[in-house]
Amino acid sequence: MTSNISNNIKGGPLTRLLMNDAAGRRLVLILMAVSVLVPLSNLFMPEGSLLHVSTYTMTLLGKYLCYALLAIAVDLIWGYCGILSLGHGAFFALGGYAMGMYLMRQIGDRGVYANPDLPDFMVFLNWTELPWYWLGFDQFWFAMIMVLAVPGLLAFVFGALAFRSRVTGVYLSIITQALTYALLLAFFRNDMGFGGNNGLTDFKDILGFDLQADSTRAALFFASGIALVGGYLISRFIVTSKLGRVLIAIRDSESRARFLGYRVEWYKLFVFVVSSMLAGVAGALYVPQVGIINPGEFAPINSIEIIIWVAVGGRGTLYGAVIGAVLVNYAKTYFTGAFAELWLFMLGGLFVLTTLYLPKGVVGLWAQIKEKYLSSGGSAGSSGGSSTGGNPSDSPAPGTEKAEGKA
Amino acid sequence: MSLAKTKHIDQPTVLYMDGVSVSFDGFKALNSLSLFIQPGEMRAIIGPNGAGKTTMMDVITGKTRPDTGTILFNDEHDLTRYDEAQVANMGVGRKFQKPSVIESLTVFENLEMSLKGGRSVWQALAHKLTGEKRDKIDEIISMIDLKDRLHEEAGSLSHGQKQWLEIGMLLGQEPELLLIDEPAAGMTDEETMKTAELFKELSKKHSLMVVEHDMDFIEALDCRVTVLHEGSVLAEGSLENVKNNQKVIEVYLGR
C-alpha cells in the first residue's frame, strides 16, 4: 500500500499529498496553529491580556471554521466537477439536526417538563412516546454515524436519480434548490417531530461536558479546526488522484469523459456523496457551538451564500474556499452589526464584482496583478527587478497560468 | 450465438450495421443504413451535409438509440444495448469533429486518463502511474509529435495539435475500431498529410472509419470509400470508382 517505488517520492502519505501544494501546506499549518493556540489562549491567558481570546470570539471563529468546511464541500463538487449545488445547506442542516437530536436526548429530565425520555417540544405536543426515528440518538456514536449517513443517503438517492437521468447545469441547480426548500417546509411542520419552527435548542451538555463551559467550547473549537484540516486533506487526496482528473474532465467536457469510457454518473455520485458528508460534519460541529438548529438552516439563501463564499475565495482551489468562507463571514458579522439592512445588497454586490473582476477569486488576485504588471510593464520591468528583466516578454503568460493550475 | 444468426453475410466483421434507421421528429437521419467493416480495414465515409455521418457515429457509440436495425461489434456485441462508456470500453474509440481534449489538464494527464483500464471510481482513486503506463504514454507521445509540450495545458495547444492529442487519447484506449470525424478540419496541408500518414500506420493494427470532406486527404488515405446520402449508402468502392459514379456526381461531387 505504501510502496514508493512507482513514484520515487519519499515520506509518508501526508507529505506526498501536500508536496506540490504550497498554499495547502500553509493553510494546514495555520489551521493547526489556530486550532491549538486559540483554545489555549482562551483557557490559560488572563482576561484583559492582549493575548486572551474571549469565549465569544472563539465561538465565532469556530463557526467560521464550520462554514469553511462547508465551503470546501461545495468547492469539491462545483470547483472540480462543475456540479453547482444550490442546496448544499440542506446537508449541513441534516448533519446539524443529527447532532441536535443527540444533544436533545442528553438533556434528559432537566427540561422544563422534566420528562426523562421526551424532549420538551414533544411533551408540549402531548406525545407519549419517542418516535422511532429518535431511537438510538441518546448514543453519541449512533448520532455520529447518522451525521454522515443521513446526508450521505439523501445525496446518494438524489444524486442517483439526477445524474443517471443526466440532469445537468442549471436544471440540476434548480432541483437542488427545490430539495432544500422542500426540507425547509417539512421541518417547519410540528408533526415531523423535529421541533417545528423552534427547532432543537436549550442543549445542556455533550458527552457529559457542560456546553456553557469554556473548556467544552475550546474542545469544540479544536474539533472544528481538526475537522477542517481533515476535510481539506480528504478533498485534496481526491482531487489529486486520477479520480480528480476525471472530475475535471467531466467539468470541462462531460461527453469526452463518457467516450473515454468513464461512467460519468458514478463519478458525480461519488463526489456528491463525499461532499454531502463533509457538509454534514460541518453542521454537526456548528450546532453545539451556536446552541440551536432550526429549519431556517434549510433556507435557500444559505445555500446561495455558500456559493458566494467559494466564488469570492476562488473556485477549484479548496484553500480558496476556506479563505472565502472566513472573509465573507467576517464581513457579514461586521456589517450585519453595523448596517444590518444593507448586508444582502452588499452580498449581492460582492458576487457581481467577483464575477466581473475576480474570476479566480481573491486567491487568483495575486496572479492577476502579476500578469497585468508583467504584461503592461515589459520595458519598465528592467528597472523593477533585474531577475525578471532577462525573460522574454511573452513567456510570463503561460508561466503564470501554470503556476495557478498547480497552486 | 443467437445474435450472430441475424447477420446476412458470412465473413468476419469488426462492425456490422444492417437496416439501421433513426428519425428525429419525422426526419429520417438514417434510413435503413447497411454497412460493414472488416477487421483491419480502413474505410473513408463521405457525403454531403445532413447525409447522416454524425448520426451514424452516434448510434454506433451508444449516444443515440436506433429505431430499428442491427449493429454488431466483432460479430458478438449488440451495440444498440449499451451506453457510451460501455461501448468505449468494449473497444470502440471516437474522435469528434471539434477537437475535444480536456483543456485544463496537461497533455500528459490527458493521455494518462485515456489509457486502457481502471475505469471504475475506486480504481481511479487508487490509481498509480506505473512504469508500464509511462512507457505507453511515451510511445504515444512520440507518435503524435507532442514530446516538448508534454507538461503544458492542453488548452494552450494549437488547433492541429489538439486534434493530434485527441488521436493520441484514442490510441491510449487501445480500441479495435476507431471512429474519426473530420480529422483534417482546420489543419494545414502539411498537417493533413502527416495525419493521413499516421492513419495508414494505425490501420496496420486497428480498424478505422474516417469521416472526411477533404478529397485530397481521402486520396492520401488510399482506402475503400463509402458515400452516404440521405441516411443510406449511395455508393461504395475505390475513390476512383466512386468519383465516376453517376449518382454520386449528381448529389455530391458535381456541385
Residue A239, domain member (yes or no): yes
Cβ neighbour number for residue B10 with a 10 Å cutoff: 6
Residue B30, SS3 per DSSP: strand
Task: Give strand pairing partners of B226.
Answer: B45, B236
Q: Within this chain, do residues A81 and A152 fall inside the same structural domain, yes or no?
A: yes
pLDDT at B6 over 80: no
Residue closest to B163 by CA, chosen among B101, B214, B118: B101
Distance CA B134, CA A285 (A): 44
For chain A, the 3-state helix, strand and coil shares in percent, each to the nearest 5, are 75, 0, 25
Domain contains A352: no
Phi, psi of A72 (to 5 degrees): -60, -40
The reply to whether A331 and A365 lie within a common domain is no
- With CB atoms and an 8 Å threshold, state whether B124 touches A256: no
Q: Is the pLDDT of residue A116 over 60?
A: yes
**Residue carrying C-alpha cell 461501448:** B87
Q: pLDDT tens digits, residue range A270-319? A: 999 999 999 999 999 999 999 999 999 999 999 999 999 999 999 999 99
Place of cell 456523496: A273
- What is the pairing mode between strands B177-181 and B92-95? parallel
Contact yes or no for B153 and A248 at CB 8 A: no
Residue B227 lies in a domain: yes
| Interface pTM, i.e. ipTM | 0.90
Report the chain A residue with the minimal C-alpha distance to residue B100: A256
The whole-number average pLDDT for the span B50-64 is 91
Question: How deeply is B34 buried, as exposed, middle or buried, from its count of CB atoms within 10 A (0-12, 13-18, 19+)?
Answer: middle
CA–CA gap between residue B185 and residue B169 (Å, rounded): 18
pLDDT band at A371 (very low <50, low <70, confident <90, very high): confident
Instruction: State how far the Cα of A267 lies from the Cα of A243, in Å rounded to an integer.
Output: 8
The residue ranges of DSSP E strands in B38-74, in sequence order, are 42-46, 68-73
A256 vs B102, B128, B156: nearest CB: B102
Is residue B58 a part of any domain in this protein? yes
Same domain, yes or no: A302 and A398: no
Give the pLDDT mean for B49-73.
92
Cell 488515405 sits at which residue?
Answer: B221
Confirm if A253 and A70 have CB atoms less than 8 A apart.
Answer: no
- pLDDT for res A392: 36
Chain B contact for A263 (CB, 8 A cutoff): yes
Residue A24 covered by a domain: yes
Mean pLDDT of B70-88: 92
**Terminal alpha carbon distance of chain B:** 46
This prediction's pTM: 0.89
- Please state the domain count of chain B: 1
Cα separation values, B126 from A1, A243, A257, B120, Å: 10, 8, 18, 10
- Average confidence score pLDDT of chain A: 88
The H or E element containing residue A373 is: helix A365-376
**Residue A11: inside a domain, yes or no?**
no
Residue A351 lies in a domain: no
Domain for residue A396, yes or no? Answer: yes
Regarding whether A365 and A335 lie in a shared domain, the answer is no
Q: What are the pLDDT digits (tens) for B176-229?
A: 999 999 888 888 888 888 889 989 988 988 999 999 888 889 999 999 999 999
Q: What pLDDT does residue B247 have?
A: 87
Q: What is the CATH number of the domain that holds B1?
A: 3.40.50.300
Each residue of A338-354: pLDDT tens digit? 888 889 899 999 999 99
Residue A195 has pLDDT above 60, yes or no: yes
* Residues spanned by the domain of B245: 1-90+223-255
Range of A398's domain? 360-378+388-407
Distance CA B53, CA A52 (A): 73
List the one residue out of A274, A40, A254 whose CA is nearest residue A155.
A274
pLDDT of B248 reads 86
Q: Report yes or no on A29 lying in a domain.
A: yes
Considering the domain boundaries, does residue A350 fall inside one? no
A156 in the same domain as A126: yes
Distance from CA of A255 to the nearest CA of B (A): 9
**Cβ A360 vs Cβ A403: under 8 Å:** no
B-interface mutation test, from A2, A259, A402, most B Cβ less than 10 A away:
A259
Inter-chain CB proximity B102 and A267 less than 8 Å = no
Cβ of A241 within 8 Å of Cβ of B169? The answer is no
Q: Give the pLDDT of residue B1.
A: 42
Beta carbons within 8 Å of B51's beta carbon, 6+ residues apart: B228, B229, B230, B231
β-pair partners for B217: none
Residue B142 lies in a domain: no
CA distance A47 to A50: 8
Is the CB of residue A332 less than 8 Å from the CB of residue A67?
A: no
Residue A392 and residue A273 share a domain: no
| Contact between chains at A255 and B84 (C-beta distance less than 8 A) | yes
Nearest CA in chain A to B109: A245
Band of pLDDT at residue A199, cut at 50, 70 and 90: very high
- Listing DSSP states for A309-377 in one string gives HHHHH-TTSSHHHHHHHHHHHHHHHHHHHHSGGGHHHHHHHHHHHHHHH-TTTGGGHHHHHHHHHHHHT
**Do A392 and A316 belong together in one domain?**
no
Tell me whether residues A405 and B153 touch, CB distance under 8 A. Answer: yes
Same domain? A36 vs A96: yes
Q: What amino acid occupies position A314? A: G
**Rounded Cα–Cα distance for residues A246 and B114 (Å):** 10
Taking Cα atoms as reference points, which of B24, B5, B31 lies closest to residue B16? Answer: B5
Confirm if A295 and A184 have CB atoms less than 8 A apart.
Answer: yes
- Same domain membership, residue A211 and residue A96: yes
B246 domain residue, yes or no: yes
Joined grid coordinates for residue A21: 501544494
Please state the three-class secondary structure of A185-249 as a single string: HHHHCHHHCCCHHHCEECCCEECCEECCCHHHHHHHHHHHHHHHHHHHHHHHHHHHCHHHHHHHH
Q: Answer whether residue A379 shows pLDDT above 70.
A: no
What gap in Å lies between CA A382 and CA A13, rounded to an integer?
A: 43
Q: How many Cα atoms are found within 13 Å in the side-chain-facing hemisphere of B113? A: 31
Query: Do A207 and A302 share a domain, yes or no?
Result: yes
Name the domain count of chain A: 2
Q: How confident is the model at residue B254 (pLDDT cuts 50, 70, 90)?
A: low
B231 occurs within a structural domain: yes
**B128·A7 Cβ contact <8 A:** yes
Length of chain B in terms of residues written: 255
